[in-house]
Amino acid sequence: MKKLLITTVFTSLFISVSAQETPQETTQDSTKVESLDEVLVKAVRVSADSPITHSNLDKEELEKRNLGQDIPYMLNYLPSVVTTSDAGAGVGYTYIRVRGSDASRVNVTLNGIPYNDSESQGTFWVNLPDFTSSVESLQLQRGVGTSTNGSGAFGASLNLLSDAVSNEAYGEIANSFGSYNTHKHNVKFSTGLLSDHFELAGRLSTIQSDGYIDRASSDLKSYFLQGAFVDENTLIKTLVFGGREETYQSWNGLEDAEKLENDRTYNTAGMYTDEDGNIQFYDNEVDNYAQDHYQLLWNQRFNNNWSTNVSFNYTKGKGYFEQYKEDESFEIYGFEPIEIGSDTINSTDVIRRRWLDNNFYAANANVNYKNEKIDFTGGAFYSYYTGDHFGEVIWARYASNSEIRDRYYEGNGEKSEFTVFSKATFRINEKWSFFGDLQGRFLNFKTSGITSDLLPLNVDENYSFFNPKAGLTYKLNLSNQFYLSYGKAHREPSRNDYEQGIITPEKLDDFELGWRFASEKTKVNTNVYFMNYKDQLVLSGELNDVGAGLRTSSGKSYRLGLEVDAEIQLLKNLRTLPNIALSTNKNVDFVTSRDGELVNLGNTNISFSPSVVAGNMLEYSPTKKLQLGFLSKFVGEQFMGNIDSEASKLDSYFINDLNIVYTLNTLPWIKEVVFSALANNIFNMKYISNGYFYTYDDDFSNPGTVTTVEGTGYYPQATINFLIGATVKF
């Protein structure tokens, strides 16, 4: 049955992604303004003939499905990508995995500035809702990739370029509506170039959704404002953008097998029992966070050979999540016991908030030299992060000696990073080119205070990493190109890892061998990769008390895979873009505790690493105004832990979406109206794309013996659902 599904993916169902660059295509836009914009991310991107495995998406492709879902869902049909959502429908907290590596191991940059949180290393797109509407283009590099700023890429790196400077003035109003009371509204504008040099552009957005999962609502607001100065050789941009999110928590998942079968949208978050023994749900069990980014970008071209790029960034984040907790011990919150007659009260119901208040500063400078034989880029990057963690009680049934918003824990984290790199492509002759890349990263991570578990966390660790990369590209002819590359990466632990006592950095050697074929009607990208890890921190399957995945060191491990993606023009108005990723992902001699003893399980599967990920799209344009897309995604079975327990296995799933885009451009005073519709999961599959797995030792049931007990939880995804929208462009 699985072979039949995979075959079906390739023969009749197709993915919609942007046309991949080919060896004959250029990577710069045609106008001075646009090519200056592209140079802003030149230091972290690669070109079409680079020996780095990558995919590109541009604004035109992103607009087809941009109806409110987060950026991970825009990337869902790229090779080796798996996406999931806590609320089940792609709005709110969404996540991406690439080659089995979770989002904390995917290096993300916005205009060359790191976006991953410095402490957790996670990427929280919910803090930048509707950022897709302000993306000019993006590139996803799989594997180690090229040198980039921020934490090392252990599965992939994703860099996004925000809106380019517009020569002409425009205005847009977009509205979309869909299932689960989902709706998105935004307005965009640009003044165009005033006096041939100045532009002001911006966007305001709001997205709301009740979510597929009960009470998993989202109330998201965002903004984007850009001021630019441009002339023939200079581009200066000032950007201010950010978002506000309030989402009802849905990170608990669902452990109850009966409810999973009969009430799969059930959400345990906020659940408590009233005085009559009835189950109630706290109405403000929410995550509430705001994040603002300030960027200054300056690109200067001195002549046809030399250019520089300087950027500065400040990011401010502050927010909390709120919880109702029953029968909490006074000791946790520093309360004194209450004596009432002969009774002693030492527990209470509380409403608490856990806060994060952080600041991130970054500076980046690059220089580029280019002629017919060499393309050289060198640069330096510095960042400093500080984050305050604290908890407060805002209500208690028995408040004892406390005051409102007393802090029951406080801690701080600081992280500084200095990176230098130089990379170059040497064109040896018409057929051969060599790519070299040297990077040094120097880090300090320091913590103080106590954690939310009321444990001291005092860390002061320094790391020095040297990450060399090299590759060869061979152009056999105009249609065939081959490449071979090697890259080394190191990665420091996250704050959660330190809390688990893990201080050893990870190491990765990545080998890539690829073939690119391009003809008039067919483009094929094929690559084989071998990623060899030492001390890889793999997801254990367990979660902490805020729904974040915990990790464990696997010692030695590897990922070996084959990726193929293509674009085939079947007819003048019919094309298909299939891809498939086949892989084996193994922990070598994995040791675990079982029934009170350490056991070597030999080679086991790495958690959340399906061996088959495939997708496809059939795109048909009967007229220039109408485009139909039939999108499909197959994800093979995967384990949620690293011990190959059958209980931890997630079943494979195969989902299909329908995308319709119609453009009306005959109305007076309006440039065009673009109507979009997206039917997700049109065959109404009940599938699960994420979950958790835990074990614990039970020595109470049978005194004198220790038995390991296993447990699981799941995040059900939405059945058939719809989004429709219209964008009016002036």
Q: How far from 381 is each of 21, 140, 162, 168, CA to CA, in Å?
A: 28, 21, 20, 34
Buried b (16+ CB within 10 A) or exposed e, 659-695: bebebeeeeeeeeebbebbbbbbbeeeebbbbbbbbb
pLDDT of residue 35: 64
pLDDT tens per residue, range 449-467: 999 999 999 999 999 999 9
Q: Is 391 a residue whose pLDDT tops 70?
A: yes
Q: Is 608 left (phi over 0), alpha (psi -120 to 50) or beta?
A: left
pLDDT tens per residue, range 596-610: 888 999 999 999 999
pLDDT tens per residue, range 69-114: 999 999 999 999 999 999 999 999 999 999 999 999 999 999 999 9
The DSSP output letter for 101 is B
Q: How far from 368 is each of 143, 308, 500, CA to CA, in Å?
A: 24, 6, 42
Q: Please, which contacts does 547-552 make with residues 24 or more away whose CB atoms are closer than 8 Å?
A: 547/86, 547/249, 547/251, 547/252, 548/120, 548/122, 548/496, 549/102, 549/692, 550/496, 550/500, 551/494, 551/496, 551/497, 551/500, 551/502, 552/500, 552/642
- Looking at domain 2-729, its CATH class is mainly beta
pLDDT of residue 697: 80
Q: Cα(158)–Cα(140) distance, rounded to whole angstroms?
A: 5
pLDDT of residue 699: 61
pLDDT of residue 594: 84
pLDDT tens per residue, range 542-592: 988 777 889 999 999 999 999 999 999 999 999 999 999 999 999 999 999
**Considering only CA atoms, which of 119, 181, 118, 141 is closest in space to residue 44?**
141
pLDDT of residue 45: 84
More confident: 33 or 642: 642
Q: Cα(230)–Cα(300) distance, rounded to whole angstroms?
A: 10
Q: Is 29 a residue whose pLDDT tops 90?
A: no
Hey, what amino acid is at 611?
S
Q: Is 235 a residue whose pLDDT tops 70?
A: yes
pLDDT of residue 544: 84
pTM above 0.85, yes or no: yes
Q: Is 376 a residue whose pLDDT tops 50?
A: yes
pLDDT of residue 47: 86
pLDDT of residue 18: 38
Average pLDDT, the chain: 91
Q: Is 497 a residue whose pLDDT tops 70?
A: yes
pLDDT tens per residue, range 394-426: 999 999 988 888 899 999 999 999 999 999 999
How far the first Cα of the chain sits from its last, in Å, is: 50
Average pLDDT on 493-499 reads 93
Chain centroid to CA 199: 31
- In which band, very low, low, confident or very high, does the pLDDT at 212 lie, cut at 50, 70 and 90? very high
Average pLDDT on 135-149 reads 92
Q: Measured at the alpha carbon of residue 290, what is the angle toward residues 287 and 295, in degrees to the nearest 5?
A: 150
pLDDT of residue 233: 92
Average pLDDT on 628-639 reads 97
In the chain, the largest separation of any two C-alpha atoms, in whole Å, equals: 93
Backbone angles phi, psi at 420, to 5 degrees: -125, 145
pLDDT of residue 6: 38
Q: How far from 88 is each of 204, 227, 615, 722, CA to CA, in Å?
A: 25, 37, 20, 13
Q: Is 626 a residue whose pLDDT tops 60?
A: yes
pLDDT of residue 129: 96
Q: Please list the alpha-helical segments (H only) found in 327-448.
A: 330-333
Q: What percent of the chain has pLDDT over 70?
A: 94
pLDDT of residue 252: 92
Q: Is 12 a residue whose pLDDT tops 50?
A: no
Q: Specify which of 219-223, 270-274, 333-337 reaches the highest per-range mean pLDDT.
A: 219-223
